[in-house]
Amino acid sequence: MLDSSNLQYPPLPLIQTWIWMMTQSGNPEIQEKGQNNLIASFGSLAKANDYLLTQRA
């Protein structure tokens, strides 16, 4: 079983770029790419959101 404390996530600026791609790019292909990158890195958008919330604390 994987130890979640050893998980390595992408740098925060890259994650923020993917979120921008998803929400503000206005291009469906770019939006999909941003979403796919987040899901590939975190397993789901919900987990990506949870991670971002912990980074703000």
Number of domains in the chain: 1
Within a domain: 1: no
Question: Does a structural domain hold residue 36?
Answer: yes
pLDDT in tens, 19-56: 999 999 999 999 999 999 999 999 999 999 999 999 97
Residue 3 has pLDDT above 60, yes or no: no
Its domain, for residue 47, covers 10-56
Mean pLDDT of 1-26: 84
Considering the entire predicted model, what is its pTM? 0.83
Residues ≥6 apart with Cβ < 8 Å to 9: 15, 41, 42, 51
Give whole-number Cα distances, 28 to 25, 34, 35, 53, in Å.
Answer: 8, 10, 11, 26
